[in-house]
Amino acid sequence: MSLKIGVRAVGFAAADSPLLVIILPASITLPPSLRDVDLATGGALERTLARGDFRGARDETLHLTGGTTGPARLLLVGTGTSTDRARALRRAASLAARQAQKMGVGRMGVWAAALSAADVEGMVIGLNLGCWEYSDLKTPPPEEERRAPLEEATLFLRDARRGRNAAAQGTAIAEGYDVARRLAMMPGNVCTPELLAETARSIADRHKLELTVLGRTEMEQEGMGSFLSVAAGTPQEPKLIALACRRGKRGAAPLVLVGKGLCFDTGGISIKPAERMEFMKFDMCGAAGVLGAIEAIARLKLKVNVIGLIGATTNMPSGTAVKPGDVVKASNGKSIEIINTDAEGRLVLADVLHYASRYSPAAVVDAATLTGACVVALGSGATGAMGNQEALVREVIDAAGRASEPAWQLPLWDVYREQIKSDVADIRNTGGRSAGAITAGLFLQEFVSYPWVHLDVAGTAYSETDLVVVPKGPTGVPVGTFVEFVRGRSR
């Protein structure tokens, strides 16, 4: 559930509140709209800045105790000298909310004086990302040790009326992020293909969307031998989930968002090493991103036709599992030699991407935690983006930028295609160690027949370490990218 956001005129910032957050850039003097707050603290704010105790560096924080009147606490957060203002603000807001959550203040105020509507939206998203926690599976601490969860944030703005609308949009997107991060954080025995389908059902019911779910039998009828080869090792029912939100012009070609939904990836017969294998519960972050984005898009009431498509299963070794060397046939008729059963995401996506063609889409964007190679290339700093139409790749990368989820293009050049040629089949599912993110993209390209972009989010959808503003675990990527892409098309 998202934070309750209040919006008030900036003059009220000096009023009593358990915590007032003040976000400032590098080396600033006291802004006039903070005079009242400064007075309420007996001039502490001005002295702190004058002495250089707080210089506003990126991620710098300073916690001050308030005076006898006014805010009980002040938290200064720096944005440094960043040129990407929206991203810096969102980061600072996350950090502030994370600290407020730890303090147990329950509600907070944020001095936001002259923020634009876009900045307010980003700040609301940042606040929600920062205080997010997944504690469903933990026994709550005894009553006396419990801290109040952060439930409410009030933004103090010069133009409060305009801010309200922007805050509501931010909340809608934050709800989408929440859907995605919750699903991603759930362990593999909780977040099953069945649970992803149930979540899609709940989104469909709440927003009156159309839902179609295919199981093993229906996929057999569709000839989805590639997807089904991955599901061959698991007794769980694989699911192809299609969630349609059609608020655009009747009959207008839809945008299709596709997500890899591997609820757990052991590697299959080409099994992964035990060390850090537990992180492979996050192999459904693409799918979580699709569900989160559809939740947000429905809440934003965007006037577009959007289809969310998810390929959900689990990659397990077993007596019935697919083996290296096996050849399977995808629904578009292409035969695939499976060299490595751990390159399963592309096998699932092959059939889901072909399924997308029945919608005659205007554009398709898929997101997948597809390759370790993409993590080697770009780390957690950027999503790998590639596609078959230069303008569309640019459009998606721009959307990712607006969402503060940076993406960087990798080339799908023909020279790399040599690497996925097979001796026995039309194509093989791995292309060796070099250019691994690209050969995976080229594999996917064999199954598309429309303008398409592939986002490899293996390095950006979750983090194995604490990232200062975001705790260890799911980041919510690519929810924002999907939402911005669709919103960009709805204008």
Q: Does 456 bind Zn ion (CB under 5 A)?
A: no
Buried b (16+ CB within 10 A) or exposed e, 217-241: eebeebebbbbbbbbbbbebbbbbb
The 10 Å Cβ neighbour count of residue 159 is: 17
Q: Shortest approach of ligand BES to residue 350 CB, angstroms?
A: 13
Sign of CA dihedral 217, 218, 221, 227: negative
Window contacting Zn ion (CB under 5 A); options: 44-52, 108-116, 259-267, 288-296: 259-267
Q: Shortest approach of Mn ion to residue 267 CB, angstroms?
A: 5
Residues with Cβ within 8 Å of residue 138, at least 6 apart in sequence: none
Q: Is 346 a catalytic residue?
A: yes
Q: What is the contact surface with ligand BES in residues (CB under 6 A)?
A: 265, 283, 340, 342-345, 369-373, 375, 430, 436, 458
Q: Which is nearer to Zn ion, 262 or 400 (CB)?
A: 262
Q: Is 107 a catalytic residue?
A: no
What is the pattern of x (binds Zn ion, CB under 5 A) and - over residues 338-377? -------x--------------------------------
Q: Which is nearer to ligand BES, 79 or 341 (CB)?
A: 341
Burial of 452 (0-12, 13-18, 19+ CB in 10 A): buried
Residue 371 binds which of Zn ion, ligand BES, Mn ion, none (CB < 5-8 A, kind-dependent): ligand BES
Residue 373 binds which of ligand BES, Zn ion, Mn ion, none (CB < 5-8 A, kind-dependent): ligand BES
Q: What is the biggest distance separating any 2 CA atoms in the chain, rounded to whole angstroms?
A: 80
Q: Shortest approach of ligand BES to residue 265 CB, angstroms?
A: 5
The 10 Å Cβ neighbour count of residue 259 is: 33
Q: Which is nearer to Mn ion, 72 or 277 (CB)?
A: 277
Q: Which is nearer to Mn ion, 120 or 285 (CB)?
A: 285
Q: Which is nearer to ligand BES, 192 or 430 (CB)?
A: 430
Q: CA-CA distance, 128 to 3, in Å (whole number)?
A: 6
Q: CA-CA distance, 109 to 75, in Å (whole number)?
A: 10
DSSP 302: -
Q: Does 233 bind Zn ion (CB under 5 A)?
A: no
Sign of CA dihedral 422, 426, 430, 436: positive
Q: Shortest approach of ligand BES to residue 361 CB, angstroms?
A: 25
CB contact at 8 A, 482 and 309 = no
Q: Shortest approach of Mn ion to residue 280 CB, angstroms?
A: 7
Residue 375 binds which of Zn ion, ligand BES, Mn ion, none (CB < 5-8 A, kind-dependent): ligand BES
| The dihedral formed by the CA atoms of 164, 166, 168 and 173, expressed in degrees to the nearest 10 | -160
What is the pattern of x (binds Zn ion, CB under 5 A) and - over residues 290-329? ----------------------------------------
Q: Shortest approach of ligand BES to residue 379 CB, angstroms?
A: 11
Window contacting Zn ion (CB under 5 A); options: 82-90, 199-207, 277-285, 457-465: 277-285
Q: Which is nearer to ligand BES, 295 or 351 (CB)?
A: 351
- Whether the bond into 411 is cis, omega within 30 of 0: no
Q: Shortest approach of Zn ion to residue 313 CB, angstroms?
A: 11
Q: Does 283 bind Zn ion (CB under 5 A)?
A: yes
* Nearest residue to the partner Mn ion, using Cβ: 342
* Nearest residue to the partner ligand BES, using Cβ: 372
Which residue of the set 281, 346, 402, 489 is catalytic?
346
Residue 71 binds which of ligand BES, Zn ion, Mn ion, none (CB < 5-8 A, kind-dependent): none
Q: Which is nearer to ligand BES, 345 or 387 (CB)?
A: 345
CB contact at 8 A, 306 and 486 = yes
User: SS3 for 279?
Assistant: helix
Window contacting Zn ion (CB under 5 A); options: 157-165, 279-287, 398-406, 466-474: 279-287
Q: Does 265 bind Zn ion (CB under 5 A)?
A: yes
Q: What is the contact surface with Mn ion in residues (CB under 5 A)?
A: 265, 342, 344
Sign of CA dihedral 482, 483, 486, 491: negative
Angle between helices 285-300 and 193-207 (to 10 degrees): 0
Q: Shortest approach of Mn ion to residue 370 CB, angstroms?
A: 9
CB contact at 8 A, 336 and 428 = yes
- Both tokens assigned to 326: 């096996």
- Both tokens assigned to 429: 């599912």
Closest CA to 78 of 31, 21, 14: 21
Please list the active-site residues. 272, 346
